[in-house]
Amino acid sequence: MSRLRFLLAAVPFALATTCTPAVQRPRAGAAASAPLPSWNDGAAKAAIERFVANVTTLGGPGYVPAAERIAVFDDDGTLWAEQPVTFQLQFAVDRVRALAPRHPEWRKQEPFDRLLADSTKSFLASGGPAVAAAVAAHAGTTTDSFAVVVRDWLRTARDAKTGRPYSDLVYIPMLELLDYLRASGFKTYIISGDGVEFVRSLADSVCGIPPEQVIGSQGKLRFESRDGKPALVKLPEVQLLDDGPGKPAAIQALIGRRPLAAFGNSDGDRELLEWTWAGTGARLALLVHHTDAAREWAYDRDSPIGRLDKALDEASRAGWTVVDMKQDWKQVFPVR
């Protein structure tokens, strides 16, 4: 992921549940007899199945009790698409536009002025200031109100290229992988650089991951009384950035167990995979490599979003599993 996305995590996002219809899966119900139906036979699929067999075979050398089976997933570019900009970044752009009428001062204020002059690209290119602007735009909102905003956006927003809701840009093979791990006794977590409350909205409805198993960046919250009732109000300050080396630290602080399996797609997931891989016993460290320009996007070492460079080299040295999306996946997105 880009530095921009990393920083944007500062936007304090509220809990929300989407109302998107359930994603259409190919060969639903086949998971029990043949897991991972959208995966072609190959090294990646074999590595996943070998790992699962290893930790779940009672009496085997790699057996791990179910309570200790933790699997952690990055989100953008690992569970769902992140090009040309991440969902959260697009949400921030849309929100600044929506709130602009209430803030006439933004027309003369960097970097809002760029965005409001219809130069989204220039706004995003401003990096830190764009982030600060997006954060500032929601300061003072209660978490309950913000939840409604996120839910409404997810229900109505459409990806510019495909015209589909963002919940349709999820990777079917990764949903199958989540199902397969859960059916094998794993507790599945999302470990995201995005704001935790934004991610929860998709995690629960699309990926079957409950709010308490989503770890993300956190904005500071202030507890106060509003209309005689306690409220949590978003502040324009960062509490925790959950990216890069922050991912293992957040796992230690919030889960307290080292994961057995970690899934990512960029240099921002490198330390997450290193930490997981360095544990004793059977481990799985897997990178999704975006190689499919026809069905999705092809990018790695030079991409401003989802850069995969050092982690790709390390995968090769360490023996991590690398998924070649073009070769390994029969299908990428759900069919409607």
319 binds a second copy (CB under 8 A): no
**Candidate residues 212, 294, 302, 317; the one interacting with a second copy per rule CB under 8 A:** 212
Torsion of CA 263, 293, 317, 191, to 10 degrees: -20
CB 198 within 8 A of CB 47: no
**Candidate residues 252, 310, 319, 335; the one interacting with a second copy per rule CB under 8 A:** 252
CB 280 within 8 A of CB 259: no
Whichever of 64 and 254 has its CB closer to a second copy, that residue is: 254
CB 238 within 8 A of CB 217: yes
* Minimum separation from the CB atom of position 167 to a second copy (A): 18
Torsion of CA 240, 242, 243, 246, to 10 degrees: 80
318 binds a second copy (CB under 8 A): no
Whichever of 239 and 316 has its CB closer to a second copy, that residue is: 239
Closest C-alpha to 257, from 159, 187, 331: 187
243 binds a second copy (CB under 8 A): no
Whichever of 34 and 67 has its CB closer to a second copy, that residue is: 67
Rg (CA), the chain: 20
Stretch that binds a second copy, among 1-9, 48-56, 239-247, 302-310 (CB under 8 A): 239-247
Type of residue found at 24? Q
Residues 87-126 within binding reach of a second copy (CB under 8 A):
none
Could you report how far apart the first and last alpha carbons of the chain are, in Å? 28
Residues that bind a second copy (CB under 8 A): 15, 67, 70, 143, 187, 196-197, 200, 210-212, 214-215, 218, 220-223, 229-230, 232, 239-240, 245-246, 248-249, 252-257, 271, 274-275, 278
